[in-house]
Structure 1
Amino acid sequence: MDREGFDALVAKAFSQPADLGETHAFLAVQGGKLVFEKYAEGFGPHDTYKSWSMAKSITQALIGILVREGKIDIHAPVKAPEWPAGDPRAAITLDQLLRMSSGLAFREDYEPDNPSDVIDMLWGSGKDDVAHFAASFPAAHAPDHFWSYSSGTSNIVARCAAEAAGKKGAEFETFMREELFGVIGMKNVLPKFDKAGTFIGSSFCYAEARDFAKFGLLYLRGGVWDGRQVLPEGWVDYARTPTAQTPKAFEEEGPYGAHWWLGMGGPGSFSANGFEGQFTLIVPDLDMVFVRHGRSPGEQSKNVKKWLGAVTETFRK
């Protein structure tokens, strides 16, 4: 590797430059081993860090477990009480929700001064029942005809997972711990639930940086952990299969799979991305996982993506 280049990039990130914002934690795993770990002053390996939208990828894993157990069919129409028979939304499948192609209207805007459905869902009128709030939106497009990133759809997916498991609230949290977190050794994880008992799978699953690295390693290993097929065969390939997007969406947002983003660390890489620069990046050709936590609003978060891409390249020298 280019160690000099790597060290320079890490030093820059932890100096809190104006273009990258604050970096609180950075980890690199290669060959299943932790090969680099650094924390900012005031942060450490046993602190929990915000997931923000990295929780979406955890939600995708939960659906995978239910697929493995034969409890859910991602290609069947979702039976949402908000979508009665004859409603065009009643044709929406879980697959379309996972690929952000349901066609449901939803404004994904995190600026408090702008009308924002996601802020209203998480902290306003929708906070007590996030899935119902999201599922109540009208169809803006026919299913599978338009890609639009939406935290609302992830909470509908989380409700589907609870219904398939036959559990909600504390019982569903136990399911998460027994079937996912406990299996792969995620020791300090705190998922959040709304008053309706739905995991807020769009945004809220706090964990240690090392825990997010373990989650990334599960996907790097094709859903297998210590010889156990945690995710069904082919589920990771499904996660990283590109979803059709308009040229504008592809240019502005980047390529997308099924609740995972694509390409940040070069061809074949995929990542769980969260608000303000939370990233778990998986790079199969290098057998690596990178985890970065911090606070990088707006354009700074986009710059962190470029920084992670540059860090990845130092291992290809």
Structure 2
Amino acid sequence: MLARVSEDDPEGSAGSRKRWLAVKLGAALLGLGTLGFGLYAGMVMLPRATGYAAKIGCTAVFVSGLEPARVLKEELAAVGFVDVEFDHDTQTTRAAVVGLAEQRATHRRGVGCTLVRDGLPLELDLAPVAAPDDDRAWPAGDAPDTRDDPSGLDRAALDAALDAAIGEPDPAAPRRTRAVVVVYDGRLIAERYAEGFDASTPLPGWSMAKSVTNALIGLLVGRGELELDGPAPVPEWREDPDDPRAAITISQLLRMSSGLAFEERYGPFGTGSDMLFVHESCAELAVNQPLIASPGTRYAYSSGTANILARIVRSRFEDPGAQLRFAQRELFEPLGIRSAVLELDPSGVFIGSSFALMSARDWARLGQLYLYDGVWNGRQLLPAGWVEYTRAPAPAAPRGEYGALVQTNAGAPGQPEDRRLPSLPTDAFEMVGYEGQSVLIVPSRRAVIVRLGLTRGPAQWDTDRFGASVLASLPG
């Protein structure tokens, strides 16, 4: 049987049927694609968003003490589609998307906020460090320093630099600087706080937590419990005698030169978000990565390796609370740090890549310890030579930009002008965190400069420019 053909429809009804079938097939494929994406979003993307909202919201409200309305508008603006509830009676935050992918985070005294997982213990309480009973000035206490300014300080220029840091030149792209502290020659000489924040507010350091991990590893090395250049004690890498990962050292983990694959990517499509906001163990994702380079030969920034190190610290102690009491007793109490909160993953390990909070003054105390080569009040807290090792550029870092869980400023070998912060001295090194967190340490200028904030776009904050403006005001 022949199909009719006309000038208007040269293919006749057979052609029409083909087009109709093509449209139906396209619609079906589109529907399947939409369904597949919906399933992916529901199973993978939404838990990342709700985990972020629950954890970050809990910390902002119950640790930093911010108002929920402000947190929803500022901290959680990027996940505005997530429904978030704060329960002040139980100190719990709940997050879900139209009832789906619900996640909860609970606050405990001295421990901060932890995502809740069924069957994992939440009974943990850490008494705060006792406040000093004297009226000494920083760093021994927090009383005002009534001494005259250091000779040669340009107070007007310093005030202008700090006022500019706190100011908002473009309301459409807010900086949201929340705290700034400047220490010179062991004295706190200037500080500024945004509205709603003060000298006692614990604020997140994000990746500045890596510097706390560095200090904890250093303490354990100093006690002879870990060997810096020995194989990292990771059981999974020793199950197979032919596993090349067994050769990875603690030093290579500290210097981001382990050779392990890791995708340092966050947001709805990033596996880094799974590490922080979905998995029970933040270290597990990194531990199970394959080698993509020989250990020590390739630099690649990896928060995953910082969490491997944090799990190594945890393995030295009987229970989750013991690791925190160790940090409190051996690190924070000697420095007079009273606001520090080290937050744990659901498995009970400090999230050493990302979740430590302190007041700006206490972050400055930690920076001052590193400025003093690990010595505090005449006592060698960190092992002799530890700070020198920490701020020495990793051999695999091409621009001399990274040491041992801190960022450095040495520049490329033989090309010091090709450095990360070109306006600052080459001996500067920095604890750096997401959203513009910074503890800048400049030994040649005897300075520690702290900036904490919530800056979402990198163009809104320039550490190089700010640091240079502060240093220009200090005595030569």
Q: What TM-score, normalized by structure 1, do the two folds share?
A: 0.91
Superposition deviation, residue 308 in structure 1:
2.1
**Equivalent residues of 1:102, 1:143 under 8 A apart:** yes
1:175 aligns with 2:326: yes
| Equivalent residue, structure 2, for 1:231 | 382
**Equivalent residues of 1:168, 1:198 under 8 A apart:** no
Tell me, in whole angstroms, the C-alpha distance in 1 between the residues paired with 2:212 and 2:190: 24
| Equivalent residue, structure 2, for 1:42 | 196
Distance 1:72 1:196, change over 3 A: same
- Candidates 287, 293, 300, aligned match of 1:148: 300
Task: Using the aligned pairs only, state the percent identity.
Answer: 41
Superposition deviation, residue 245 in structure 1:
4.1
Tell me, in whole angstroms, the C-alpha distance in 1 between the residues paired with 2:339 and 2:397: 39
Superposition deviation, residue 302 in structure 1:
5.7
| Equivalent residue, structure 1, for 2:406 | 260
Structure of larger gyration radius? 2
Tell me, in whole angstroms, the C-alpha distance in 2 between the residues paired with 1:290 and 1:101: 28
SS at match of 1:280: strand
Tell me, in whole angstroms, the C-alpha distance in 2 between the residues paired with 1:20 and 1:150: 28
Distance 1:43 1:172, change over 3 A: same
Tell me, in whole angstroms, the C-alpha distance in 2 between the residues paired with 1:300 and 1:168: 43
- Candidates 82, 100, 120, aligned match of 2:256: 100
Superposition deviation, residue 2 in structure 1:
4.2
Q: How does 1:138-287 map to 2 (within 5 A)?
A: 138-163=290-315, 165-245=316-396, 247=398, 250=399, 255-263=401-409, 264=421, 265-287=424-446
SS at match of 2:382: coil
Tell me, in whole angstroms, the C-alpha distance in 1 between the residues paired with 2:262 and 2:473: 39
SS at match of 2:178: strand
User: Structure 1: which 5+ runs fail to align?
Assistant: none
Distance 1:246 1:35, change over 3 A: closer
SS at match of 2:203: coil
Which has the larger displacement, 18-27 or 200-209? Answer: 18-27
Deviations 1:182-217 (A, max 9, x none): 111100111011122211000011111111111011
Superposition deviation, residue 246 in structure 1:
5.7
Deviations 1:118-157 (A, max 9, x none): 2110012x2x111122111111211111100011000001
User: Structure 2: which 5+ runs fail to align?
Assistant: 1-152, 410-420
Amino acid at match of 1:288: A
Superposition deviation, residue 20 in structure 1:
7.1
Q: How does 1:13-24 map to 2 (within 5 A)?
A: 13-18=165-170, 21-24=175-178
Superposition deviation, residue 47 in structure 1:
0.7
**Equivalent residues of 1:280, 1:289 under 8 A apart:** yes
Q: How does 1:43-122 map to 2 (within 5 A)?
A: 43-83=197-237, 84=239, 85-110=241-266, 112-113=267-268, 115-122=269-276
Which has the larger displacement, 8-17 or 176-185? Answer: 8-17
| Equivalent residue, structure 1, for 2:91 | none
Tell me, in whole angstroms, the C-alpha distance in 2 between the residues paired with 1:281 and 1:26: 11
- Candidates 456, 459, 463, aligned match of 1:304: 463
Superposition deviation, residue 96 in structure 1:
0.2
Aligned length: 307
Tell me, in whole angstroms, the C-alpha distance in 1 between the residues paired with 2:431 and 2:394: 15
**Equivalent residues of 1:146, 1:246 under 8 A apart:** yes
Amino acid at match of 1:65: L
Superposition deviation, residue 306 in structure 1:
3.1
Higher relative contact order structure (alpha carbons within 8 Å, sequence separation ≥ 6): 1
**Equivalent residues of 2:436, 2:458 under 8 A apart:** no
| Equivalent residue, structure 2, for 1:295 | 454
Deviations 1:157-194 (A, max 9, x none): 1111222x334411110011011011111001110111
Distance 1:271 1:173, change over 3 A: same
